[in-house]
Amino acid sequence: MVKSARRAVTGDGVCIGLTYKDRAFIHPKTSHSKTLIAEILTEMQLYEELRDICFTSVQINHNTISAPRTDSNKPGCPSIAIGLGDYCGGRLRIVGAKQPLHIRNHAVVFDGLQTHCSGLFNGDQWSLV
């Protein structure tokens, strides 16, 4: 398994999900935002592409630009990214892909073990990975 190298160049993010013991958790820094997190997860279920997918974790980012990295998922377990908000740019860049991928308002499934990063954007961007 490739070790995650998640580093935000700018912006805020938090990961919610399962521990290795399969217990759900919310990071202490976000305990005051439980209602917002619940609303975001409810919103995710509205997207047909995400409706029947089981998640081990969800990374919630706000106005985040990430450095090139790989995710710490297991081989064969895809990563899914969707961008929400009023912004332009911010495409998902995957090493070896022909072109950056638009993620605004639709989900993109990709191999998170491939090196990837997010592009520059203008506006207010939320992303769920």
Return the percentage of the chain with pLDDT > 70, whole number.
66
pLDDT over threshold 50, residue 45: yes
Higher pLDDT, 32 or 71: 71
Where are any strands of DSSP class E within 1-129?
8-18, 24-25, 57-66, 79-89, 92-94, 108-110, 116-118, 121-128
pTM value?
Answer: 0.69
pLDDT tens per residue across span 85-128: 999 999 999 998 999 999 999 889 898 889 999 999 999 999 98
Domain boundaries, the chain: 8-128
Q: Does domain 8-128 have CATH number 3.30.470.20?
A: no
3-state secondary structure of 28: helix
pLDDT over threshold 60, residue 7: no
